[in-house]
């Protein structure tokens, strides 16, 4: 029998974050005013009052978090990392002109190396603002090697998540009527599915960055492509992703073409289930909202890009009450402009309140839940909470800055007052990937220089010079 001191000797762990306000967003929504989180082998092993955790665990490295908040890393449920080289362009257009006149020409002009550099830049931006998981809806270019190169870039930066490979297939009647350019249609339905299958084989479920099938938009891709994507997700035990009813005209154009609304069609055909992740879902009718909820499908709410493009306000309350799993998304560096989930949380609340004229329709606690634990449910990763056994994905946020003081409630300060630049430390899988103002796995200076050069060449190649005056008159 061991001695009493041996029995009670601290257990070893890799990392101990201690002394901060720990917002666990766990099942009990525990908040520890002076708490600690212990990490070992990429997972959280203990969370609780600092004195208790410090007595029970001996760490290879201890980080003093006094004057800071420790919270789960954010889950970005919908982004387009390849769009990072187009930041700040294309302003003043609603969704369809924005796509036809700007984003699709940009995506056609992007080459494989542009996509890799853009993804790296966007991944760095995400990590610097406390995002630890991203669903990257990638659709330019979409050959297998580029898709896998983008996945590698995301992982090498230290971020985890998904590359949802955007598939378009052949040009449908709806696509022709909506003005999609011919150069987008590079592959048949069969080729799209085969390329995606190969990417999923090489980046299967459980990879740090996995690949999902992503028919680009329910409004204009072929129904057989959607069927194939859902079947592929079921076969490979992943989720699948698509844009859904982002623009006000999307359901009407689908109804005109097929005699049914898009989500209604998914439900009727048995394609709507818990593997489904729908980006936007702004223009759903009551029956579609009910169907999404009954099938526990996921929805990525992108309030900042919806406001930028004047697309409308997603029915957050109705979807959640129906049973949908709602995550938050930045929609990437072009339509959302900043991959900053603090901004997205705040915009979520403000949009709902302005739309309903009810200041109590959503509260700051809910916004933080959507950005963390609900994002973990949406991706199926188990991230988004600080609890034993969960992935050690977390962010440390300064609370000692003028725009965050006086501090009365940490959750309110984080949602309403904090911003991405207040993040001081980001941990993914137990590894510190952002610290002291720099991402630890990327040469940021070289990256920024290369991204600027590539963006300028891309503007010339795409013929976007008219979009870059110093001042629009």
Domain ranges across the chain: 4-72+386-439, 74-379
pLDDT at 103 over 60: yes
Helix (H, G, I), strand (E, B) or coil at 15: strand
Q: What is the pLDDT of residue 473?
A: 83
Q: Count Cβ neighbours within 10 Å for each residue of 303-313 and write b for 16 or more, e otherwise.
A: bbbbbbbebbb
- What lies within 8 Å, CB to CB, of 190 at 6+ separation is none
Average pLDDT, the chain: 96
pLDDT at 1 over 80: no
How far is 89 from 73, CA to CA, in rounded Å? 29
Pick from 397, 444, 383: which is nearest to 130 by CA? 397
Over the stretch 127-182, which tens digit does the pLDDT of each residue have?
999 999 999 999 999 999 999 999 999 999 999 999 999 999 999 999 999 999 99
Q: What is the pLDDT of residue 167?
A: 98
Q: What is the pLDDT of residue 122?
A: 98
Q: By the 8 A CB rule, do 140 and 187 touch?
A: no
- Model pTM greater than 0.95? yes
Pick from 349, 348, 328: which is nearest to 339 by CA? 328
How far is 354 from 68, CA to CA, in rounded Å? 31
Average pLDDT over residues 66-75: 98
DSSP state of 62: E
CA geometry: angle 163, 168, 170, nearest 5 deg: 155
How far is 110 from 459, CA to CA, in rounded Å? 10
- What lies within 8 Å, CB to CB, of 191 at 6+ separation is none
Per the structure block, which two tokens stand in for 142?
């979409």
How far is 261 from 218, CA to CA, in rounded Å? 10
β-bridge mates for residue 32, sequence order:
22
How far is 281 from 302, CA to CA, in rounded Å? 9
Per the structure block, which two tokens stand in for 427?
């941990």
CATH 3.30.70.1290 fits 74-379, yes or no: no
Alpha helices per DSSP H over 337-390: 341-356, 364-371, 373-379
Over the stretch 242-279, which tens digit does the pLDDT of each residue have?
999 999 999 999 999 999 999 999 999 999 999 999 99
Average pLDDT over residues 304-318: 97
β-bridge mates for residue 211, sequence order:
163
Q: Domain 4-72+386-439 - what CATH class?
A: mainly beta
Query: What kind and span of H or E run contains 432?
Result: strand 431-435
- What lies within 8 Å, CB to CB, of 23 at 6+ separation is 31, 69, 70, 71, 72, 368, 386, 410, 411, 414
How far is 23 from 411, CA to CA, in rounded Å? 8
Pick from 177, 70, 32, 18: which is nearest to 397 by CA? 70
Q: What is the pLDDT of residue 472?
A: 86
């Amino acid at each position: 029998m061991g001695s009493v001191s041996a029995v009670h000797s601290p257990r070893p762990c890799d990392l101990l974050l201690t002394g901060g306000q720990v917002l666990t967003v766990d099942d009990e929504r525990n908040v520890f005013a002076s708490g600690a989180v212990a990490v070992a082998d990429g997972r959280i092993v203990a969370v609780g009052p600092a004195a208790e955790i410090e007595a029970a665990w001996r760490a290879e490295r201890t980080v003093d978090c006094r004057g800071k908040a420790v919270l789960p890393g954010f889950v970005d449920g919908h982004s387009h990392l390849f769009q990072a080289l187009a930041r700040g362009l294309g302003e003043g257009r609603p969704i369809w002109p924005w796509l036809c006149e700007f984003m699709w020409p940009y995506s056609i002009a992007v080459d494989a190396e542009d996509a890799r550099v853009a993804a790296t830049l966007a991944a760095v931006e995400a990590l610097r603002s406390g995002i630890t998981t991203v669903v990257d809806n990638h659709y330019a270019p979409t050959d297998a090697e580029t898709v896998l190169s983008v996945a590698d870039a995301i992982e090498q930066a230290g971020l985890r998540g998904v590359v949802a490979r955007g598939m378009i297939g052949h040009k449908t009647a709806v696509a022709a009527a909506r003005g999609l350019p011919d150069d987008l249609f590079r592959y048949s339905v069969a080729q799209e599915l085969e390329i995606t299958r190969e990417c999923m084989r090489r980046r299967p479920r459980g990879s740090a960055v996995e690949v999902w099938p992503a028919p680009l938009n329910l409004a204009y891709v072929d129904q057989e492509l959607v069927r194939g994507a859902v079947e592929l997700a079921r076969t490979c035990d992943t989720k699948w992703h698509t844009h859904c009813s982002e623009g006000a005209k999307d359901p009407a154009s689908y109804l005109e073409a097929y005699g049914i609304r898009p989500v209604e069609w998914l439900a009727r055909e048995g394609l709507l289930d818990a593997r489904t992740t729908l980006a936007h879902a702004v223009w759903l009718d009551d029956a579609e909202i009910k169907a999404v909820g009954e099938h526990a499908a996921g929805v990525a709410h992108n309030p900042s890009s919806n406001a930028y493009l004047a697309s409308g306000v997603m029915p957050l309350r109705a979807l959640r009450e129906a049973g949908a799993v709602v995550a938050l998304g930045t929609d990437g560096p072009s339509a959302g402009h900043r991959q900053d989930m603090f901004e997205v949380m705040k915009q979520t609340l403000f949009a709902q309140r302005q739309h309903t004229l009810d200041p109590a329709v959503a509260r700051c606690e809910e916004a933080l839940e959507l950005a963390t634990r609900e994002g973990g449910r949406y991706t199926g990763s188990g991230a988004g909470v600080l609890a034993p056994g969960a992935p050690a994905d977390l962010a440390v946020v300064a609370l000692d800055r003028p725009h965050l003081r006086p501090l009365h409630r940490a959750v309110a300060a984080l949602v309403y007052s904090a911003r991405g630049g207040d993040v001081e430390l980001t941990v993914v899988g137990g590894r510190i990937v952002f610290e002291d103002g720099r991402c630890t796995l990327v040469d940021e200076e070289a990256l920024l220089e290369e991204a600027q050069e590539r963006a300028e060449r891309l503007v010339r190649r795409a013929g976007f010079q008219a979009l870059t005056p110093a001042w629009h008159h």
